[in-house]
Structure 1
């Protein structure tokens, strides 16, 4: 079942205008293109700007797929939410109007609840632990789980760690979050996490956040360094706290409808190209963080390095609540066991 949106946002209006065009191209243009040029063109939509390291990873995917297929299978990329928000592009995949997207695992959890576990605060010790999980049996299970909802996971991209940033004051301890409206993704885990830590979680579309910060609709937000910079939120928020409360990866997803139209050879091209792009995206991410830290220093953003145990201890109440569910408990224990090895 496709989740329902509550209001007609700008991105939803944009999608309603573009959808007929997208459908016409994919089901008419792409087929005639295939007959004439012996190639298939898959639309890949995502919400990040072209300066973001994840977009660079997608470009690497595009290049690798073109090389492997000798131009027979290609990606046409629509960045910067041109076809809608993460939630909306996932809906487009479900109805078969767009072939692929990149979304946060938090957005996927609204469609495929198995992904919810990836948003649990302080579940992963470090990035090595995270990718040992994502590139092992657990990660494969999660990617496959989305197929039930017409959303086939292809691979995970590095999205670093998420931390708090604020406009008016530094966040040194969880008590500093009291009374602060913090923008979060429209995801139950993100809402519960901020509320558990003492803030007032405010779900909001990412594209609306800059203005919301300007107009003091919210007092701050939480995200990784590259997103903090490419969104220009650092122009408004001068306090960035490295509490690193979660490490939610990005997910490359393909419409199950499109996946079924591919031959076995084409499926292998897609998966191999995606796997190669993962390696490159990780490097792009590392390089971008280093560059972005210099940008933030020059912009006089104050970095706060708190005692993270103050945050993790308080967040543990949420984890204990989740572990009352036997399935979630089993998955959490499996993930922790990977980190212990």
Structure 2
């Protein structure tokens, strides 16, 4: 039993007043420079890792029977991490942070994202709106909190999400199942029907060129995204015929689910926390929204393999065209400038994933600055 924070994050909260120019001036100018060759070196690095892991998996059948299952599990975990690194690079292409050349960004991003069954242009368009409207209750594109009335919880207790009971209380198996379901299948559900998206676009598909998510002039770019997915699906079908469906599942399918896990875990924890507010239009601004992101360390190995997308996300939301290889340096300077407005959580990310899924249940229906709440009655109330 216990409390995640000893200070009420809602008490006397004052939104930040920094301007984007003030924050930009606090970061060395070279951090904004994009080096195409250096960016490609990370692509080569990740592709070599993927090839080496696949080569190792090809020899698993040579191991003693009792070692094969652990070896496959190790391969799935490691390949999922490395492929998520490729996803991060493709995501960087969508922001124009990979290269100063727009064509290089788009071609590279389309190839890499298509290989991971991600519709490059479709997601780039909606993700751009997320960056422009982060933590705006009416215009953000992903992980938009549901209100208490939407959840149908009128008349229920409304406990601040930062007050916790034991992490193992209140149907832990149910909460664990919800975490796993969200982590493994939340990403394709978001692409297919905009799960966790805003009211105006619920049910909209990233695969539909006529979706409300897109403008009419974006029609053909969405089609090009779908063509990329079709090519990858065709290659997987051909591989299944040439080798076996089981081979495709083991070498690609399960690592793909692991990529889904990392994507949802990273993005969910970057934007969901008991101490981070959401704003209605009257209090929202770009800088306020961007500073509602949370940096989290996943340990040195994962931080490096995931290209620091999870522990430099505040810098990324402020300056999305900044290459990832400058983000660590930029973060050091931003931390000094931001002070108490820099959000960092050093809790183990798996614990945070469970806690946030359990406690960050809804926000109130009214108000300009909204913090997550839940219906749990705390075992140990805070004095």
Q: Same fold (TM over 0.5)?
A: no
Q: Normalising to structure 2: TM-score of the pair?
A: 0.27
Larger Rg: 2
Q: By percentage of residues, which structure has more strand?
A: 1
Q: Normalising to structure 1: TM-score of the pair?
A: 0.29
